[in-house]
Amino acid sequence: MLGAIEAGGTKFVCAVGDEKGTINDRIQIPTTVPEETIPKVIDFFKQHPIDAIGIGSFGPIDVNQESHTYGFITSTPKPGWRDYPFVQTLTAAFSVPVGFNTDVNAAALGEVTLGAAKGLDSCLYITVGTGIGAGAIVQGKLLQGLSHPEMGHILVRRHPDDEYKGRCPYHHDCLEGLASGPAIEERWGDKGMNLVDSAKVWELEGYYLAQALMQYVLILSPKKIIVGGGVMHQKQVFPYIYRYLQEFVNHYVVLPDLSEYIVNPGLGDDAGIKGALILAHQELEKA
C-alpha cells in the first residue's frame, strides 16, 4: 500500500492506494502551519500499513539528493513553511521510502502515466490557481536540472491596458503575479468564479497565459499541454488562450489543433494525488 501527499498552499490532500491510481482512502487537511498540519497527516497514515510515501509539494523545494537540504521546502513565502524538513519529518515518523517532488511535477507524472498524456513521452502540466507552476516530462523523465522548474515566475509582457501592479512578493508582475487566482481577485475586486460573464477578465487572463505557453512550446516543444488548477475550471478562458497563442506564434512553428493540444487534466483534480502515488511506487522500487 502506498501513501500520497499533495501538499498545496491552501490544503493537503492525503491518500492511500496503488501505483495504478486506485485510491482506497483519502483526507483533506487545511494548510496552516507545520505544527498543526503535519501531525494530522501523520495520524492519517498511521491508520494504514503503508510501504512508501510520495509527496508532491508546493515550493520552492530542494529536490537535489546530493544537497544537505534535500527534502526541504525552501524559500516559500508561506508563513511557517520556509526551510521546513518535509522528507526528514515523514521518514522519521514511518521509516519507509519517501519520494519527493513538486506538486506540478507529480501532476505531470500522473497525467503522462494515467491521464491526458498517457502513451506520450513528453508533456507539460501547468496549474493556475492560488499560484502558478508547471512541471514537464521530457523523453519520459521529469525535467530537473540545478533544481526543479519554476515556470510560473517567468516574465511576460504587460498588456497595455493593464495597470495592476502584480502580487508576487518576489517579482510583482511575473506570470503568477499577474494571472494567478489571487491576482484576478485583487485586480477585479472579486473571485474568478463570480466573474464568469466578464469577457474582459478572461481575455486578459488568456493574453498572459498564451504568452507563457508560447515560451514553453518554443523551449520544450511538449507533445501535450495540460492546464489545471482552480482558475482553469473557467472554460471560457480557453478560446482566448488559443487565439492569442496563434497570434503570438504567428506561424513561426506549426501548432497542432489547439483544442486537442491544450486541454484540462484527464485525471481532473486528482492528477496531483495520483501522481504522488506513482512517486511513492518509484521510490519503493529504488529501495
Shared domain check, 166 and 71: no
Q: Is the pLDDT of residue 195 over 90?
A: yes
- In this structure, the answer to whether residues 125 and 251 fall within a common structural domain is yes
pLDDT at 77: 84
Please check whether residue 35 lies inside any domain of the structure.
Answer: yes
Burial of 51-85, coded b for 16+ CB within 10 Å and e otherwise, reads bbbbbbbbbbbbbeeeeeeebbbeebebeebeebb
Dig out the grid coordinates for 256 from the structure: 497542432
Query: 207-237, pLDDT tens digit by residue?
Result: 999 999 999 999 999 999 999 999 999 999 9
Domain of 171 in residue numbering reads as: 116-264
**pTM for the predicted model, two decimal places:** 0.94
Residues 200 and 232 in one domain: yes
Average pLDDT, the chain: 96
The predicted pLDDT at position 93 comes to: 97
CATH number at residue 225: 3.30.420.40
Residue 163, pLDDT score: 96
Residues 16 and 155 in one domain: no
Please tell me the predicted confidence (pLDDT) of residue 282: 97
All cell numbers assigned to 25: 482512502
Q: Are residues 128 and 179 in the same domain?
A: yes
Task: Tell me if 274 is assigned to some domain.
Answer: yes
Cell numbers representing residue 244 in the block: 492569442
Within a domain: 111: no
Tell me, rounded to whole angstroms, the distance of Cα 152 from its chain centroid: 9
d(CA 26, CA 22): 11
pLDDT at 145: 84
Same-domain status, 85 and 122: no
- What domain count does the chain have? 2
Using one digit for the tens of pLDDT, what is the confidence trace for 135-174? 999 999 999 888 899 999 999 999 999 999 999 999 999 9
Shared-domain flag, residues 145 and 74:
no
